Amino acid sequence: MDKPGFAARRAAHRMLGQVTAEGRLLSEVLPGAVDRLPPDDRARAQRLALETLRWMDRADRLLGPHLKRRPAPDVLNALRMAVVEMAQGGAAAHGVVDAAVGLVRAGRRTAPAAGMVNAVLRRVDVAAWDALPLPRLPKWLRAPLIAAYGKPVVAAIEAAHAAGAPLDLTPRGGDAAALAAQVGGAVLPTGSVRVAGRVQVTALPGYAEGAWWVQDAAAAAPARLLDARPGERVLDMCAAPGGKTMQLAAAGADVTALDASEARMARLRENLARTGLRADVVVADALDWTAAPFDAVLLDAPCSATGTIRRHPDLPHAKDGSEFAALFDLQAALLDRALALLKPGGRLVYCTCSLLPDEGEVQIEEVLARHSGLEVQGAALHGPGIEPGWIDETGLRLRPDYWAERGGMDGFFVSVLRKAA
């Protein structure tokens, strides 16, 4: 029988291998890795995998002087996980080392390295952890971000990534103060409610009643800036998992939620059912789908998701930037399609959870060049809590280092466009 905590560590170790060696995102591998674990072990495995991915750069720095050569990937991940658990998580060294050795010994190909793992982990000086530099983004991502924002900003973004992300909620009825009082949170300037510390989402007051949903404060900005009105026909393109759909529906709009993924739309339907909100849910490819023109369209385009690394530290380890060019082309095609589905005089909100200007500012510059009569609605970008310095002639740029004293926000780009009447 496994020792307490070993099953969670084994699941976390398996997920680390799938992310770092197979290039898969944690969201893809998590269900299969933890579905047979009890709830406590499930949460522990996910937390350990996330923290190891977040602090992997620092763990490698601590391990480096004690490794004559780079170990096999599964062995290295066991070492990394153990170092993070001891240094960042404060776990007792004896149990962590014993578990890491057990993980390595259990694999036929890794078993010969068990002695080395034991020796290295007993020599590692976890007291030096806090003095090490914060984890840096990989070169494939760091270089374009430095070109866009400069080194000091990128360093501040990396600090926000290391800090992680608190829990943000969007109130269904719009009363942020009441929700904050109910869940013990704080109202943010843009109207979201932030809950600090580690919490179980489903145990918070109002969850079962659908009084709110989880949504980063930055992710809540696009639907707020679209400013849907009661009775308007609004299309939410690429809608799953549904946070923006629920915002639009709560505003009283006649919402059509469109997405190509049936699996992701199942989650959207669950969210609508829990909150008691209504939308016409359509599973189809947005580039082929047709309908009568809408009063407004919200396009949250597929993107690199580089603005969400504070919540998803697996992304820099699972991706290498090779898919960027295809994403840029898809975003341009979806923008053109969104305009074709928009009434004359209608408004389009384009957004991406990306830090790359190619997926934000550049897309707007290029769509304006392709379509005469299309204008950026600068005044519409000045919503509650939005600071003027975040806005330029193309749209609103949000970054993880903003609101650092409050816990940051995801990176987003948002633009509000109006089609000629």
Q: Which residues are catalytic?
A: 353
- Give the helix/strand (H/E) hosting 141: helix 139-149
Residue 262: which H helix or E strand, with range?
helix 262-275
**Amino acid at position 389, single letter:** G
Q: What angle do CA 237, 380, 383 make, to 5 degrees?
A: 100
Q: Reduced to 3 DSSP states, what percent helix, strand and coil does the chain have, rounded to the nearest 5?
A: 50, 15, 35
Closest Cα to residue 235, out of 363, 346, 370? 346
Residue reference for tokens 């943010």: 188
CA 412, CA 421: separation in Å to the nearest integer? Answer: 29
| Integer CA distances (angstroms), 158 to 266, 316, 411, in order | 34, 12, 12
H or E element that contains 20: helix 6-20
Place of tokens 């959870």: 353
Q: Structure tokens of 201?
A: 């989402």
DSSP 308-340: GTTT-TTHHHH--STTHHHHHHHHHHHHHHHHH
Cα angle at 343 between 294 and 392, to 5 degrees? Answer: 95
Q: Give the rounded distance of the alpha carbon of 132 from its chain centre.
A: 26
Q: Are 216 and 240 in contact (CB under 8 A)?
A: no
Length of the chain (residues): 421
Q: Which two tokens stand for residue 56?
A: 């992997």
